[in-house]
Structure 1
Amino acid sequence: MALPDYEAWAIFAAVARLGSFTAAAEELSLSKPTVSKAISRLERSLGTVLFHRTSRKISLSTAGRSLLHHARQIAFDGEAAMEAARDTTHLLRGQVRMAAPLSYGLSHLAPVIADFMCAYPEIAVDLQLDDARVDLVEEGFDCAIRIAALGDSSLRVIRLRDVKAYFLAAPAYLARMGEPQSPAELVDHDCFLYSNTPNPDVWQTIGPDGQMITVRPRCRFRSNNGDAILSPLIAGRGIGCLPDFLCDPALASGQLINILPGWRIGDNIALNIVMPPSRLRPARVDALVNHLKDNLR
């Protein structure tokens, strides 16, 4: 049995990421014919076409898209294995790709990464902020911040801290509409929903004694970003549920009030760092992860 063509797999991953044979050749310090021959060699061994080529552009074939995550994992593991065999003090350079939720990334993560870049001047960080959940392996991310109750998966997870979520309303809204004493009363109020959840129209609330009440709140406003919900809450337009890192300043100033104390929505959520399944990581990724562990807890 012939060994896999690891070089060709890594070159395939680079071409797919950059969308160009020429760009991949420049990044990998190879000639363009070497890159082209590696892709052709891999296609012959697989018996399928990986790229559709025209005179103006290339695009992944269906087979190429289905095999890309394998190629990325091969390239990632190969780089990490080489670094693990060397003195990593000289390898703290290169780029780390990271994903994080928008609001948390702006308010809490960006300052921590700025400090990291000062400490490690040869490491570049590509931070993508989006509340939508990314596929780390498929999209080529080294790590991500996830604020959720995580289910079982093959991803490696570092739990940093619990995140509290509060039911909130402004004093003016409560003076006008009254304060609900039970989650069941939320159906009589204007509610603001965070839409980036599997079932945003239903609030599964859990009380301090474990009692569960399912509520389908009356939706006045919905958004896929928590910061967008915060402003109309402070303006007294309704009731919402937000995590502590978004609402703590407004609670401390009295702009918002924690209503239904002791009640929460769904499972306990946490601030997590998630990484691809492999135990091998480039030294630059470990450096960033350790920095986040020290500064985000």
Structure 2
Amino acid sequence: MGEVNLNRLAVFVTLVRAGSFTAAAEQLGLTKAMVSQHLARLERELSVTLMVRSTRRMALTEAGAMFHADCVRILGEAEAAIERVGENRETPRGTLRLTAPVNYGTTVVAPALAEFLRRHPGVNAELVLDDGISDLIGGRFDLAIRGGPLRDSGLRAVRLAGFRQLLVAAPAYLDVRGRPRRPQDLATHDAILLSVLSSPASWVFTARNGKQARVRLVQRVQSDSAAAVYAMTLAGAGVAVLPDFMVRADLVAGRLEHLLSTQHLPEGSFHAVHANLHAPAKVRAFIEYLREYIAGKTE
């Protein structure tokens, strides 16, 4: 048996349903001769006679009747599959598998996801928290929330929000080691570094007058987890650069102090990243809702 052109299955089913070559040609927008050619070629590809025909009538052979039943089922399944794909494109449904950094995922993404799921009962979710750069495609993620500069890639990114990076330390540490008054004073301090950053020890401070100072922090300890850096900073292990959303409550409560507050570090940002040229509705809807959620929290 040679390779079968699957388009001919639809012509065959239409022909049987229409009852004549003339009626089938009208329904398909083809000529009567083309319908006849499709049937002849299908029989040749299958090496089976599907239909006997004369100038007055046509009838299915036994093999043709069985094949017709199978074709109806196959085409019905194909139509249902196309319909399901269309529904996934237009209506949020299915499992949304996403990844995010641990702290941002806990404080921002998780509560936003909970409300999103309440609004979209047809969606389930898998949230994987990881401070590293997860393999979006290899990990079968629909979406990744990533902070900092994006690597050059073919992935598609939507900016979610910006955040300030703050130099902080616990009062207990500062009472012993002193409070830095200028960026250069950091040379005498222990630093807790986040190793997943491209240059965790190197920072540029910008004063209000625009003057910049590049400082290299002295590593005392490093971790690949922002949550661990935060915990060690709270415990008084040294100074650290942490995002404002992570330390805001601690600054208000006095558990941490914002150092060199007249100096500014480069701002960071979070992006929603996905690999799909045509993202499914569940992805588009969650990105839109997450942006609204974050905007509402910062107003």
Q: Is the 8 A contact 1:226 1:246 kept in 2?
A: no
2:115 corresponds to: 115
Alpha-carbon offset, residue 151 of structure 1? 5.6
CA shift at 1:260, angstroms? 1.0
Counterpart position of 2:173: 173
Is the contact made by 2:164 and 2:268 (CA closer than 8 Å) also made in structure 1?
yes
- The residue that corresponds to 1:281 in the other structure is 279
| 8 Å CA contact retained: 2:90, 2:280 | no
Structure 1 residue 90: deviation in Å?
A: 7.2
Residues 139 and 192 of structure 1: CA distance in aligned 2, closer, same or farther (over 3 Å): same
Cα deviation code 1:233-288 (max 9, x no counterpart): 223331111001110010011111111114344x421122122251x111122222
Q: Secondary structure at the match of 1:92?
A: coil
Q: Which residue of 2 aligns with 1:133?
A: 133
Deviations for 1:175-207, whole angstroms, at most 9, x for unmatched residues?
Answer: 222111222221101111111112323334444
The aligned counterpart of 2:224 is 224
Task: Evaluate the alpha carbon distance shift between residue 89 and residue 237 of structure 1 in structure 2; reply closer, same or farther with a 3 A threshold.
Answer: closer
- State the alpha-carbon separation in 2 of the partners of residues 142 and 239 from structure 1: 36
In 2, the alpha carbon distance for the partners of 1:198 and 1:90 equals 39
Which secondary structure state, in structure 2, belongs to the residue aligned with residue 136 of structure 1?
A: coil
| Aligned counterparts of 2:87 and 2:103: Cα–Cα separation in 1 | 37
Is there any run of 5+ residues in structure 1 with no aligned partner, and where?
A: 1-81
User: How far apart, CA to CA, are the structure 2 residues paired with 1:208 and 1:158?
Assistant: 30
| Corresponding residue number in structure 2 for 1:237 | 237
1:168 and 1:259 in contact (8 A); partners too: yes
Q: Is the 8 A contact 1:165 1:242 kept in 2?
A: yes
Q: 1:184 to 1:277 in 2, by over 3 A?
A: farther
Shift of 1:230: 2.1
Letter in 1 for 2:254: G
Q: CA deviation at 1:106?
A: 1.5
Following superposition of structure 1 onto structure 2, how do residues 29-68 of structure 1 map, counting pairs within 5 Å? none
CA distance in 1 between partners of 2:87 and 2:229 (Å) = 48
Aligned residue pairs, count: 216
- Corresponding residue number in structure 2 for 1:61: none
How far did residue 87 of structure 1 move? 5.8
Q: Please give the TM-score of this superposition, normalised by the length of structure 2.
A: 0.64
Q: Tell me if 1:160 matches 2:167.
A: no
Contact 2:161 2:291 in 1 (8 A): no
Max Rg structure: 2
CA distance in 1, matches of 2:117, 2:223: 32
Maintained 8 Å contact 1:154/1:277: no
Q: Which residue of 2 aligns with 1:96?
A: 96
Residue 290 (structure 2) aligns with: 292
CA distance in 1, matches of 2:247, 2:204: 21
Deviations 1:147-191 (A, max 9, x none): 213365433222222101111122222222211122222110111
User: Residues of 1 paired with 2:169 and 2:90: CA distance?
Assistant: 52
Distance change in 2, residues 1:126/1:181 (3 Å):
same
Structure 1 residue 145 displacement after superposition: 0.9
Percent of residue pairs identical: 33
Residues 91 and 159 (structure 1), Cα distance of their counterparts in 2 relative to 1, 3 Å cut = closer
Q: In the superposition, relative to structure 1, how do residues 139 and 220 fare at CA in structure 2: closer, same or farther (>3 Å)?
A: same
The residue type equivalent to 1:229 in the other structure is: V
Secondary structure of the structure 1 residue equivalent to 2:144: strand
SS of corresponding position for 2:137: helix
The gaps in structure 2 that reach 5 residues or longer are: 1-81
Q: Which residue of 2 aligns with 1:150?
A: 150
Q: Quote the offset at 1:107 in angstroms.
A: 2.0
90 and 149 in structure 1: CA distance in 2 versus 1, 3 angstrom threshold: closer
- Counterpart CA distance in 2 for 1:178 and 1:293 is 40
Contact 1:99 1:143 survives alignment (8 Å): yes
4+ runs deviating over 6 angstroms = none
Alignment-derived partner of residue 255 in structure 1: 255
User: What is the CA–CA distance in structure 2 between the aligned matches of 1:169 and 1:274, rounded to whole Å?
Assistant: 32
CA distance in 1, matches of 2:240, 2:291: 30
Q: Mean alpha-carbon deviation: is it higher for 256-265 or for 241-250? A: 256-265
